[in-house]
Amino acid sequence: MHARDLIGGLSHLVGEAGVIRDPDEQASYLRDWLGRYEGRTPVVVRPRTTTEVSAVMRLCHQTGTPVVPQGGNTGMSGGATPDASGAQVVLSLSRMTRIREVDTINNTLTVDAGVLLADVQRAAHEAARHFPLSLGAQGQCTIGGNLATNAGGTAVLRYGNARELTLGLEVVLPDGRVWDGLRGLRKDNAGYDLKSLFIGSEGTLGVITGAVLKLSPLAPACAVAWVGASTPASIVALLTSLQATFGQSVTAFEMMSASCLDIDAAQRDDAPMPLRDAHAYHALIELAGTPDDDLADRLRQALALATQSGTIDDAQVADDAARAAMMWRVREGISQAQVRGGKAIKHDIALPISRLAAFIDEADAAVAARFPQASVINFGHVGDGNLHYNALLPLDIPDDDFARLTTSLNLCVHDIVVQRGGTISAEHGVGQLRRDALRRYKSPVEMDLMLMIKRALDPNQLMNPGKLL
């Protein structure tokens, strides 16, 4: 079908307000959040309902038109960006924003895939419930995109990834058929777990259009603290100790190297420092419970003991909500600070928590020896073993040099990760960024199984081509 006829057909299905033809208006849909990838499209189509998504997919299937599903376009792996051919239709879920149902007895929330994560959190809070998925981009990312990449965030330690927070899905298949799996069941062994197959598939198997999300009771009290230590092993030891003392009350445990705070301070004259003295490593800790738990006082006591034993060097428990919010702003500002401070070679890795410290020591030594021009910006969700072990290069480095160093540094870091039982993709997805590396680290059997699933569900290879596989 000619592009003009395709666009006309799509316009008929979703209305003129649902298609974007003008290249200038398309621009924000064609460039990834970090500015690394940019493509072209004949049209951005924005359906409002699952029925319209089904009709769009049916037409694209009939005409052999490849489709790139897109949520809030905040991904960090180029997973929602079309290629440069101009042949791929961008399917944006941005107009699918219904909160379909709030069930406070079943503790579930059913939503369209285009609902912003912040709006999901708000809807849960208005129902006196808590949806614990929390990301820096929550005001821009959509729940469909979160599910497509199996997003993690800061509360995985207690609540799990997006997969663990999802009870049911609605998915439009490549040929336009709709699988209605919107079941709010915590136990369902009636066949294969199709829901988990689509979560984390990055739009390569179908289009997630709706989800039943798991809610939790609101925690009426919390305590937040900032810790300084000399080694990552000390940070891990503190995590182990606090979990033994507080159990499931430990909801977040974030680690940052000193370079993270340094680069944040360099970008802002008024950057707050949670602790007075400098430390090689820092941790941000959050506990949640009831007022009867006396969390803040108990946390002070636990951190005082850790300081006296030499496990950590210093600690500060937030005295009020404003101080706690400041601590979180410091942690959440690292990603943007590194974007402003240089060109980052990003890693989204995960290892067994018991091997984190040894990995950091080995990787730091390898990067220092082989890439002296790079500074390591190491931060992440150490409570679940997920690190963003990034290397920062000067902003003015030539593109060719940056590309060459990215290839060799990625190989260096990823080899160490996998040798220590880790993964090269933890919560940001594979996308385009890690697609080729996947073949190096996945076994032939595992790659073959994934390709078999892809061919079975998408035999014409129309769903998000060039991503993940």
Instruction: Give residue-wise pLDDT tens across range 421-440.
Output: 999 999 999 999 999 999 99
In this prediction the pTM is 0.93
Same structural domain, 351 and 328: no
In a domain, 191, yes or no: yes
Q: Report which of 27, 28, 10 is spatially closest to residue 19, judged by C-alpha positions.
A: 10
Examine the fold and report which residue of 309, 335, 361 is the final residue of a domain before the chain moves on: 335
Beta strands 89-92 and 67-70 are parallel
The domain that contains 82 carries what CATH number?
3.30.43.10
Residue 446 has pLDDT above 70, yes or no: yes
In this structure, the answer to whether residues 225 and 326 fall within a common structural domain is yes
Asked if residue 290 has pLDDT above 90, the reply is: no
> Tokens for 267?
């970008």
- Whether 468 is in a domain gets the answer no
Residue 450 lies in a domain: no
Domain ends where: 216, 233, 258?
216
- CB atoms under 10 Å from CB of 104, counted, come to 12
Q: Is residue 66 pLDDT above 70, yes or no?
A: yes
- The pLDDT value given to residue 287: 97
Residues 135 and 207 in one domain: yes
Residue 166 lies in a domain: yes
Q: Which residues pair with 224 in a beta bridge?
A: 286
> The CATH number of the domain where 248 resides is what?
3.30.70.2190
Average pLDDT for residues 157-163, to the nearest whole number? 95
Q: Which of 216, 235, 262 is the last residue of a domain?
A: 216
- Are residues 234 and 186 part of one domain? no
Beta strands in 328-415 (DSSP E): 343-345, 349-350, 375-381, 386-393
What mean pLDDT comes out for the span 52-57? 98
Given a cut of 70, whether residue 39 has pLDDT beyond it is yes
Do the domain assignments include residue 451? Answer: no
Look at residue 106 in the predicted model and tell me its pLDDT: 98
The verdict on 405 and 438 lying in the same domain is yes
Are 208 and 252 found together in one domain? no
Asked if residue 128 and residue 55 are part of one domain, the reply reads no
Does position 1 have pLDDT exceeding 70, yes or no?
Answer: no
List the CATH number of the domain containing 396: 3.30.70.2740
**Residues 57, 113: one domain?**
no
**3-state secondary structure at position 433:** coil
Average pLDDT over residues 270-289: 91
447 pLDDT higher than 90: yes
Provide the pLDDT for residue 271: 67
What domain range is 17 assigned to? 3-92
The Cα 23–Cα 28 span in angstroms is 10
- The pLDDT value recorded for residue 81 is 97
The arithmetic mean of pLDDT across residues 76-104, rounded, is 97
Q: Check whether residue 62 and residue 140 sit in a common domain.
A: no
138 and 225 fall within a common domain: no
- What is the model's pLDDT at position 337? 86
Residues 111 and 160 in one domain: yes
pLDDT-derived band at 246, boundaries 50, 70, 90: very high
In a domain, 466, yes or no: no
pLDDT at 363: 98
